[in-house]
Amino acid sequence: MIKVLFTFLLSPLMLPAQDPKPYYKNDTLYATCGYAFYKGQTLHFAKGTGKKGQFRYITIKNGFAAHSLINSSMLIKDLQNIQITPLDVGYVDIIGTVIFKDSSKGNVVIQVAFDKAIENDPNLHTELVVPPQFRNSSRIILHQQLNKLFTLYASGSISKEAYEAQKVNCWNNS
């Protein structure tokens, strides 16, 4: 009975960390890194990450030239067709008003692969400009490291002592 109780009490400590995932709640779309998209928000575009500055993760769906978004802003009016694939890649159609570099305005519909447009590597250029706390999210990296460690422990590749020591090291370095 004591072994069962002991196992029950310690089992939450041995569960792998859950990978953060994009989700939609209360009219707000959250990217994997925690960045939120919502009505009334202003998005800021950088240049594309593709060849010659073309957007790879942002597609204009209603006739504007893709290069017209570079260094422009967009006020979100609506989020539609939110899709999160089985591989946790998220897509959303964003309807809004773009304020172009020359201060003119236009209504636009874009489709965004939002996690890809943000990217979490501080060494990579992003297509959407986001605050630094949403770049290279240490939370995502920590979850990935903890899951990898747990997989090694569960498969018997490392001992419980090594697992615990490396887990503490991951937490201390995050």
Higher per-residue confidence, 11 vs 46: 46
Nearest Cα residue to 114 out of 142, 140, 85: 85
Structure tokens at 108: 């636009």
16 pLDDT band, cuts 50/70/90, is: very low
pLDDT given for residue 150 in this prediction? 83
Q: Give residue-wise pLDDT tens across range 118-137.
A: 875 666 678 998 887 776 55
pLDDT digit string, tens, across residues 84-118:
887 778 899 999 999 888 888 999 999 999 988 88
Token couple for 164 = 């615990």
Does 73 or 122 have the greater pLDDT score?
Answer: 73
